[in-house]
Amino acid sequence: MIIRQSPGLSLAVHPGQAAAVTRHATWLPPVRDVPVSATLAAIEALMARRGRGLPVLPLAFGEAGLAVHPVLRRALAAATAANGYGPVAGHPALRSAAAGYWTRRGLPTGPDQVVCGPGSKPLLFGLLLAVGADVAVPRPSWVSYAAQAAMIGNRAHLVPVPPGEGGIPDPAALALRPRQRRP
């Protein structure tokens, strides 16, 4: 294949075929170099311990390898007959349940205000791309949240969470200075 590129345009030519022109999305920010993931380092340490025959309960990442509850197993098995894509924003029953959770905790929420997805990392990354601004990240937090902001050139302002506050930062600690634009 021969590829000729210019800003926003690529011309790909396969031998014996006509040229195909593709346009690249220019609105996406460039992805920055990403350091070695702390999660990957934890998984490597876990595997080394297992390799030495030591017992390990893997809580360094979202898939801890714990047994699936029988009720959930039956629900998942019943859902296999659907055999297709679900609603983009998530199933209505799941969205209603999430809205009810927040409403019961004093934040009135309707199902139309909820989007469900495959996990926090892809949802937050999509949100970071859509917002395109610096973000406040509670400290402590999951290792990839600040890294995701840095990947697309945004700053993560780490905001301390006082003990006993359920992961919610002190609102006074959220006062931020305006961002200085990079040249």
pLDDT band at 21 (very low <50, low <70, confident <90, very high): very low
Q: Tens digit of pLDDT for each residue in 39-85? A: 778 888 888 999 999 988 877 666 666 788 999 899 889 888 877 88
Output phi, psi for 4, to 5 deg. Answer: -115, 130
Which one has a higher pLDDT value, 2 or 158? Answer: 158
SS3 165: coil
Q: What is the mean pLDDT of residues 134-155?
A: 86
Neighbours of 160 (CB within 10 A): 12
Report the C-alpha gap between 1 and 12 in whole angstroms: 7
Tens digits of residue pLDDT in 90-115: 999 999 999 999 999 999 999 999 99
pLDDT at site 139: 87
Report, in this order, helix, strand and coil percent for the chain, each rounded to 5. 35, 15, 50
